[in-house]
Structure 1
Amino acid sequence: MYDVFGSIRSLLKVDSVSIDNNIFRMHYKATMFILVAFSLLVTQKQYLGDPIDCIVDGVDSGIMDTYCWIHSTFTIPSLTGEVGKDIPHPGISNPQSPDKSMEVKHHKYYQWVTLFLYLQAIMFYIPRYLWKTWEGGKIKMLVMQLNSPIVDDEAKRDRKKMLVDYFVVNFHNHNFYAFRFFLCELLNFVNVVGQIYFTDRFLGYEFTTYGTRVLDYSEQELGTRMDPMDQVFPKVTKCTFHKFGSSGTVERIDGLCVLPLNIFNEKIYIFLWFWFIIVAVISGVGLLYRLSTFSSAFRQILLRTRSRLAASENVEAISRKCQIGDWFVLYQLAKNMDPLIYKEFINDLALKLQGRGPVS
C-alpha cells in the first residue's frame, strides 16, 4: 500500500509561500489527491483480483472474460424477488424465459473508471495551474524571506523599505492581478459543479440521486429493501456471447459475470457524491465571501483582523486609499510575513502614503 500511494504524497506538500486560500487548496490538493488515490486503487489486482470473471459453458473462460469486459455486461434493474429463491442475484433473470417488457441496462463504465477519475483529477488542477502561471511568483518575491522572525536587522530594514517603495510606486496597479485570482475561484466552483454533471452522465444518470437513495435504503426494512448500490454497481451481471455451432447455426451462449471491482467502485462513488457536494457548497460560500470583499468597509475589517499588531489608525489610513487589488496583495502578504515584521511594514506604509517618511 505504501508503494502504491507513496508516489503521490507530494500532492499534499505544504508550500513555503501561500498564494491562495484553504478553499482553493481543497480543490487542487485534497480533491486531486483523493481522485488520484482512487484511480490507483482500482488498478491494484492484489486487493481486487481480476476485474471480471465469467462463468459459461462452451467458451474458454479467458476469452469470455475479455469479451464481456470489452463489450459490456447487463442487468435488469426492475426485477424484484427474494435473492436465492425467486432470482439468483439482483437484476438477474432466467435466460430461458426473459420478460420482454423489462428494460435491460448495460454496464460499460467499469473499464473506464480509472481513466475517468484521473481525468477529473487533472480538471481540478487546471485553475491552480492557471493561477500559478498568472501569479508568476509575485508574492514570494515581495515576501523576500520576511516570513521568518529571525532576520538580520539591516537586511530586514532594507527589504522592508523596498516593499514600502514598491507599494507606493505600484499603488492602484494590482486590480488585474486580483481579478485573475477571483476568476480562478469562479473556475473552481464551475468545475466541481460540472464534475457532478459529468459523473452523472458517466454512470448513466444515476449519480445525482445516488447518495440520497443509499441513505433512504439504510432506513428501510431489511426484507423489503433493494440496495441502490447493487443497481448502479452490480457485483453479478449477465453477458451474451454469440458463435457459430458445428452446423453453422449461430448459437447464443449466456454467461454469468462476477465484478469484484464494483465492491470498491460503489464505495468510491458514494464518498465522491458527498465530497463533491461539500466542496461545491463551500466553494459557493467562498464566492459569496469574495463578493463581499468588494465592499471597502468589509475589506477594512479583514485587513484589521490580519494586522492585529499594527495600529488601527494606520490600517484604516491604508484601507481608505486601497483599491481591491491593493488590499488583496496586502492580505496575501499578511498570511506569509512574520506578524511583527508585517506590523512594522503597515506602519511604514501608512506614514509613506500620508506623505511622511517612516520613523527610523
Structure 2
Amino acid sequence: MSTVNFVSLYNKYRLSRFIGVDDWADRLSYFYSFVLLLTCTLLVTSKTYLLRPIACHMPTAPEGGNFKNYVESACWVLGTVPIRSNESMPQRVESWEELEKRRRINYYQWVPFMLALQSIMFYIPHLAWQTVSFSRLGTDLNQLVAKASEALVAKSESKRDECIQQVARALELLLFAHRDYRRGVLADFRRSLSRIVGFLLASKRLGTWTVFAYFCIKLTYLSNTVVQLYIMMIFLNYDHNMFLFAWKLVGNLLSETYWTESLYFPRLSYCTLRLRHLGARENVYAGVCALPVNMFNEKIYIFLFFWVMIVMLCTAISLLVWVFRMSTRRRRCTIIKKYLRLKQLPAPDQIRAFEHKSDNTRSSRKSLERAFRKSVDGFVNRFLCFDGVFLIHVMTSNVGDVITADLVALLWKAWITRYAGRPEWEQPSDVSDNEFEYVSPTVDEGRTLTESTMSGQRTNTRNSMEIRRRPHEAESARTRSSLPQSPATWTC
C-alpha cells in the first residue's frame, strides 16, 4: 500500500511540477538552471570550506611550526599569481609587484557565493511574473492551468467535464471583467492606437496587459543570461568579447592545452609573502601552491558558460516564437480556427452541408467562408483579445490540444450565446447562470449558427444553441440580464 501511495504522489508531483503560465524556455531558466547552480554551489562549498582547498610549499621559510599553515591561509586569502611554464619567474620585488597587479587571482573563495547569487538571479524573473500576473489580473492563472491539467488525469468523464467547465467559466468571467466599456475621445484614441501597436500598449481593458507583462518577463530572462555571461567573464578576469572567451575555452579543450597555460583555472600558482622582523628589513618569501579546488571550478564554469549560452539562445528563440504568434491578427485567429475545426464547429469544412440550400453553390460556399471568418475574427478580437489568445497558447503547452479544444469550444459557445452582437458586450444575454449549463457544441449547433450568420439576423440564445435546462427549473426560468456569477467552488 505504501508503494502505491508513493507512486501516486510521484505522478501527482510530476504532473503539477511544470504546470504554470510559462513555456519550456522559462522552465529552462527558473527550474533547471536554478537547480543546476544550486547543486554546483553545494559541491564547491563543501570542497572550499569543509575540505582542504589549497596546499603550499616554500623552499625557504623561517623557523616556526605553524608557518606552513600560515602560508596556506595567507595565500588563500590574498590570492595567487599563475605563471606559464615557458615564462621566467621575476627576480626583483618590483617585478613581482607588477606581475601581481596583472595576474593576481583571488576569486576562489568567492566561487560558492557567486554560484548562489547566479542561481537566485535565474529564479527572480519567475517570482516577479508570479507576483505581477496575480496582483494585476485579480485571479490566479496558475490555478486555472492546474485545474485544466486535472482533466488529463480525471478518472471519470463527469469529473473531466466538470474541470473543463470550471476553467472555461473562470476564463469567461475574467474576459468579461476586463472588457473595454469606456467612452470618449481618449478611449477611442487608445483603441485606435492599440490596433496599430498591438500588445505594445499595455492595457487591461484592451486585453493586452498580460501579454505585455509576459514579454517584459521574457526580456528579463534574456537579459539575465547576458548578465550572467558577463559576470562570469569579469569574475574570471577576462575583459574581452564573451564569444571570444567561449572560443578560447573550446580551443583549449580541443588542443588539450593545460590550464596552467591558459591562466583561467591554474592548478599550480605562486604566492609571495612579506614578513617584518624586529630590527631587520622586510623579507619576501615566494612559494608554489597547488589549488585542487580549481579542478571543480574548471569543470563547473566551463559547463555553466556553455549552459547559459544555450539558455540564452533558447530564450531568444522562444521570444521570437511568441512575437510571431501574437504580432498579427491572422496568427491569432489561426489557433482558434484550428480548435473550432477540431470540435466540428462552424468551419469551411462543413460548407457542403449547406450547398443544397443555395442555387449558386460557389456563392454559398464563399458566403459561408466569409461569415465564418467574420465570426471568428469578432470572437478573437472582441472577446478573447491578446490576453485570451495568450492563455489559449499557454493551455496548449500545458494540457495539450484535446483539453484546449474543449475550452475553446465552451468559450465560443459563451460568446455566441451571451455576448455576440452586443456593442462592446457590456451586458451578457438574457440567459441566467441557473438556466445555463455548458455543453460541447455539436455539428448541428454549428450549422444553426452559420445559417443565422448568413441570414444577417442576430443570434438568439435559445434558437441557435442547444441550452439544457434542469427539469425542476424549466418552468421557473425567466429572462434576465445580469453580470456573470462567480464560478463554483473547484471540487473536481
- TM bucket (normalised to shorter chain) is 0.7 to 0.9
Corresponding residue for residue 214 of structure 1: 249
Q: What is aligned with 1:35? A: 37
- The answer to whether the Cα contact below 8 Å between 1:95 and 1:254 also exists between their aligned partners in 2 is no
Deviation at 1:216, TM superposition (A): 2.1
Moved more, 315-324 or 326-335: 315-324
| Residue in 1 that maps onto 2:480 | none
2:114 aligned to 94, 113, 116, which one? 116
Distance 1:30 1:129, change over 3 A: same
Among residues 55, 65, 77, which one is paired with 1:70 in the alignment? Answer: 77
- Which protein is richer in helix relative to its size? 2
1:183 aligned to which of 216, 221, 231 = 216
Structure 2 residue runs of 5 or longer lacking an equivalent are: 1-12, 180-204, 348-371, 421-458, 468-492
1:202 is aligned to 2:235: yes
Structure 1 residues 305 and 120: CA distance shift in structure 2, 3 A: farther
Letter in 2 for 1:330: I
Of 34, 40, 47 in structure 2, the residue corresponding to residue 45 of structure 1 is 47
Q: Structure 1 residues 140, 283: closer, same or farther in 2, change over 3 A?
A: closer
User: How far apart are 1:347 and its partner, in Å?
Assistant: 2.1
The alpha-carbon distance between structure 1 residues 46 and 265, as it changes in their structure 2 partners (threshold 3 A), is closer
* Higher mean C-alpha deviation, range 156-165 or range 242-251: 156-165
Q: Distance in 2 between matches of 1:155 and 1:259?
A: 62
**Is the CA contact (8 Å cut-off) linking 2:164 and 2:407 kept in structure 1?**
no
**What do the CA deviations read for 1:152-188 (whole angstroms, capped 9, x no partner)?**
3684586266336415623654421221111111100
CA deviations on 1:326-356 (whole Å, 9 max, x unpaired) are 2112222344457555433322322332345
Alignment partner of 1:296 out of 320, 325, 329:
329
SS of equivalent residue, structure 2 residue 45: coil
CA 1:32 to 1:229, structure 2 compared with 1: closer, same or farther past 3 Å?
A: farther
CA distance in 1, matches of 2:412, 2:34: 41
Q: Does 1:162 align with 2:173?
A: no
Q: 1:237, 1:202 → 2: CA distance?
A: 18
Equivalent residue for 2:352? none
CA distance in 2, matches of 1:226, 1:340: 55
Q: CA 1:22–1:114 in 2, change beyond 3 Å: closer, same or farther?
A: same
In 2 relative to 1, CA 152–100 (structure 1 residues): closer, same or farther, beyond 3 Å? same
Which one-letter code corresponds to 1:198 in the other structure? I
Q: Match for 1:106: what amino acid?
A: R
For the pair 1:346 / 2:408, whether they are aligned, the reply is yes
Q: CA RMSD in A?
A: 3.4
> TM-score normalized by structure 1?
0.79
**Which residue in the other structure is 2:299 paired with?**
267
SS in 1 for 2:56: strand
Pair 160,216 (structure 1): closer, same or farther in 2 beyond 3 Å: closer
Asked whether the 8 Å contact 1:131–1:184 carries over to 2, the reply is yes
Give the corresponding residue for 1:17: 19
CA drift of 1:143 comes to 4.9
In 2 relative to 1, CA 349–259 (structure 1 residues): closer, same or farther, beyond 3 Å?
Answer: same
Q: Is the 8 A contact 2:271 2:286 kept in 1?
A: yes
C-alpha change, 1:119 and 1:135, in structure 2 (3 Å) is: same
Q: Return the letter of the residue paired with 1:179.
A: F
How far apart, CA to CA, are the structure 2 residues paired with 1:12 and 1:198?
A: 34
Percent identity, please: 24
Equivalent position of 1:152 in the other structure: 158
Larger Rg: 2
Higher relative contact order (CA 8 A, sep 6+): 1
Question: Which residue of 2 is the match for residue 4 of structure 1?
Answer: none
Q: How does 1:268-283 map to 2 (within 5 A)?
A: 268-283=300-315
Query: 1-side partners of 2:339 and 2:19: how far apart?
Result: 16
Structure 2 Cα separation of the partners of residues 68 and 36 of structure 1: 27
Determine if contact 1:168/1:352 at 8 Å carries over to the other structure: no
Q: How many residues align?
A: 335
Instruction: Supply the distance in 1 between the matched residues of 2:68 and 2:339 (Cα, whole angstroms).
Output: 66
Report deviation, 1:219. Answer: 4.6
